[in-house]
Amino acid sequence: MLITDPFDGDRLREECGIFGAINASDAAAATALGLHALQHRGQEAAGIVSFDGQEFYARRGAGHVAENFSAAGAIAELPGFMAAGHVRYSTTGGAGLRNVQPLYAELASGGFAVAHNGNISNARSLRDDLVRRGAIFQSTSDTEVIIHLVATSRYPTTTDRLIDALRLLEGAYSLIVMTPEGMIACRDPLGIRPLVMGRIGEAVVFASETVALDIVGGEFVREVEPGELIRVDFDGRLTSLRPFGNHSPRPCIFEHVYFSRPDSVFAGRSVYEARKAIGGELAREAPVEADLVVPVPDSGVPAAIGYAAASGIPFELGIIRSHYVGRTFIQPSDGARHAGVKRKHNANRGLVEGKRIVLIDDSIVRGTTSMQIVEMMRDAGATQVHFRVASPPTAHSCFYGVDTPERSKLLAARMELEPMRAFIQADSLAFVSIDGLYRAVSGAGRDGARPGFCDACFSGEYPTALTDLARREGKLAQLSFPVEKVA
């Protein structure tokens, strides 16, 4: 029986990743390489669409980038000097090849391809209205709503039709759009989802993270600003448009905690340095007498280094991770069903035996994995296991492109701190405060009136309207502070 690795089931999934290149002699090859660097953001499927000046070409498939674009001839099927690619986990719409991006459609103005990172929180409402007006959908993805809105807009140019469509959207999006005229990259007015711009010689590239620019040999130019559209034509001309007015940016703070690769730069800050600083804040806020600081690999490593440096407790790799366990595996027997964590993590017994351990992890979601890791440390002979978390309690679901469980399954939504500690069976449990998290990533505490990040998964304060959620619940979504309207 093929099942999902239980360790992955107790993690927040990393949304999606997008990459695009225009005026590149090997655009599809560069895009495939960029997607390799973004593989951590989505491992269910990958796709690339290219354009050679006359025709659009597409290749999509389930699984990793290497499974779809490393075989001989795969890139040869994608000729042209412009290409966009996408890696995904399913958030809105679910899995299935019909939802694998970039999505492509033939509009009256010609071909139109779009790669989308994020989630449209009023997609169901928009879709229902479009269907009533005669639209026929080929996927269940919220991204296809954007295509239909562009197709039905009455504005004369593709750029104006895209802007017209985006004015109707709620939620979060970073988009890379390809048309016969060139490439458009844009970001939602609050900048919730990331997007950066770079260059490879004369080619312009866009990516979800700076690490993708590094991997393809590109030079980082700048972030695509919140609410900005950057249009690039085949003569290399760049045009920056800001059609949505000025808003206070709210980039997702969980990019610093977990989603981005540590060798990326997000919101002007090294992700690695931010995670070490979070660990330092955690050590100051929640000290404990112990012999070793042990990270839960790999995401807990930078925070554990910061915790060890601030506390003076030695850092050690008390858990060793196998890098050869994929997201799925064959379950050989019922008895092995409880060994899911050990397939991926194993205690370094000679190091932890007889020691008081501080375990550092990036987050607690359902709590089952945390409980199993604590048990593993005790089985290896640790005398005390203190659990420290490099983010505040995740007590609210995300509606902006992160695949979180429903709120009733989040441990922090069901329990206060002491019951959580008892559930995971640790000797003590502490989370970094939301002020401490802000100090670590931005140098100042959280301004409750104007938070500098989207932190709704911790605070429950959603920065946009949530129309589809309100419809499902049969009431208006209750927001904790006023929402800035898109002009």
Where a domain ends, among 220, 250, 280?
A: 250
What pLDDT score was predicted for residue 340? 57
The partner residues of 297 in beta bridges, in order of sequence, read none
Question: Is residue 296 located within the same domain as residue 199?
Answer: no
Question: Is residue 150 located within the same domain as residue 278?
Answer: no
Sequence-distant (≥ 6) Cβ neighbours of residue 363 within 8 angstroms? 11, 12, 257, 258, 389, 390, 391, 394
Residue 33 within a domain: yes
What pLDDT score was predicted for residue 90? 62
CA angle 332, 335, 341 (to 5 degrees): 85
Sequence-distant (≥ 6) Cβ neighbours of residue 191 within 8 angstroms? 225, 226, 227, 249, 250, 251
What SS3 class is residue 230? strand
Question: Is residue 82 located within the same domain as residue 222?
Answer: yes
What pLDDT score was predicted for residue 325? 58
Closest by CA to 127, choosing from 155, 110, 147, 97, is: 147
Which segments within 259-402 are labelled E, that is strand?
265-266, 269-270, 292-295, 319-321, 328-330, 345-347, 356-361, 384-389
315-338 pLDDT, tens per residue? Answer: 999 999 877 755 433 333 434 434
Where a domain ends, among 187, 221, 250?
A: 250
Q: What number of other Cβ atoms are within 10 A of residue 87's Cβ?
A: 32
What is the model's pTM?
Answer: 0.91
Residue 56 within a domain: yes
Give the confidence band of 11 by pLDDT, cuts at 50, 70, 90. low
Question: Is residue 186 located within the same domain as residue 296?
Answer: no
Instruction: Please report, as a single letter, which amino acid is at residue 444.
Output: A
Question: Is residue 51 located within the same domain as residue 186?
Answer: yes
CATH number for position 298: 3.40.50.2020
Average pLDDT of span 206-229: 98
What pLDDT score was predicted for residue 321? 86
Question: Is residue 154 located within the same domain as residue 287?
Answer: no
Q: β-strand 384-389 against 428-431: which pairing, if any? A: parallel
Rounded percentage of the chain residues whose pLDDT exceeds 90: 82
CATH number for position 26: 3.60.20.10
What pLDDT score was predicted for residue 66? 94
Residue 122 within a domain: yes
How many independent structural domains does the chain possess? 2
**Average pLDDT score over the chain:** 90
Question: Is residue 231 located within the same domain as residue 336?
Answer: no
Give the confidence band of 382 by pLDDT, cuts at 50, 70, 90. very high
Average pLDDT of span 451-464: 96
Residue 92 has pLDDT above 70, yes or no: no
Give the catalytic positions in this structure. Answer: 16
Burial 89-111 (b: 16+ CB within 10 A, else e): bbbbbeeeeebbbbbbeebeeee
Residue 207 has pLDDT above 50, yes or no: yes
Question: Is residue 291 located within the same domain as residue 196?
Answer: no
Residue 482 has pLDDT above 90, yes or no: no
254-279 pLDDT, tens per residue? Answer: 999 999 999 999 999 999 999 999 99
CA 183 to chain CA mean position, Å: 23
Residue 4 within a domain: no
Residue 478 has pLDDT above 60, yes or no: no
Question: Is residue 48 located within the same domain as residue 173?
Answer: yes
Q: Report the C-alpha gap between 34 and 211 in whole angstroms.
A: 8
Average pLDDT of span 424-438: 98
Which residue has 């997201």 as its token pair?
327
Residue 214 within a domain: yes
Residue 3 has pLDDT above 70, yes or no: no
Question: Is residue 170 located within the same domain as residue 207?
Answer: yes
Residue 149 within a domain: yes
Instruction: Please report, as a single letter, which amino acid is at residue 222.
Output: R
Question: Is residue 246 located within the same domain as residue 345?
Answer: no
384-398 pLDDT, tens per residue? Answer: 999 999 999 999 999
Residue 454 within a domain: no
Q: Are 428 and 387 in contact (CB under 8 A)?
A: yes
**In terms of residue numbers, what domain contains 293?**
271-442
Residue 132 or residue 487, greater confidence:
132
Reported residue count of the chain is 487
Residue 450 within a domain: no
Question: Is residue 216 located within the same domain as residue 278?
Answer: no
